[in-house]
Amino acid sequence: MKKIIFVCLGNICRSPLAEGIAREIAQKNNLNIKVDSAGTGDYHIGDAPCPNSIKVAKLNNIDISNLKSRQVNNNDFKEFDLIIALDEKNRIDLLRMGAINVKKLGEFGRNGECVPDPYFFNGFEGFEVVFEMIRECTENLLIEII
């Protein structure tokens, strides 16, 4: 069984979306993978995903409302086969924390871009754009590893 963890800064918007999307893809395709998400920071430990992430996921028939934010830790670096950062800053932070072989989710997209934080977009549309980026990259990631 492959084990994948998606990591962003606070684990309330991008990485829970990636976790929910990956679980949906795995379920639909009977893939034997374990998926989780975490944040590099400790700002939101125990919090649910942000309302806009829950909303955009729900609009795409994915329920992430039961997820709770947590901070990535050294055990994750041992347990997970793939550590997927949502942007370059998260990748650098993970490497500083001791993770090895960290990939950026954007490497699995058309342009190899980082997945931007939707809070820097103007309104809900940013969450829609980021959701589609995460979906495309996650689909490509799972095709590549399976």
DSSP for 39-76, written as a single string: ESS-TTTTPPPPHHHHHHHHHTT---TT----B--HHH
* Percent of the chain with pLDDT strictly greater than 90: 88
Which domains are present in the chain?
A: 2-145 (3.40.50.2300)
* Percent of the chain with pLDDT strictly greater than 70: 100
Give the pLDDT mean for 115-135: 91
Q: Which is nearest to 60 in space by CA: 5, 124, 135?
A: 135
Check 13, 14, 36, 135 and give the catalytic one: 14
* Per-residue model confidence (pLDDT) at position 120: 81
Q: What is the mean pLDDT of the chain?
A: 95
Residue 77's H or E segment, with its range, is helix 74-79
Give yes or no: 137 in active site.
no
Q: Rounded to 5 degrees, what angle do the CA atoms 8, 9, 14 make?
A: 40
Give yes or no: 50 in active site.
no
If one counts every other C-beta atom within 10 angstroms of the C-beta of residue 92, the result is 13
Cα–Cα distance, 102 to 54 (Å, whole number):
26
Check 13, 76, 117, 137 and give the catalytic one: 117
pLDDT > 90? residue 22: yes
- pTM of the prediction? 0.96
Check 8, 50, 114, 137 and give the catalytic one: 8
Give yes or no: 36 in active site.
no
Give the pLDDT mean for 110-134: 88
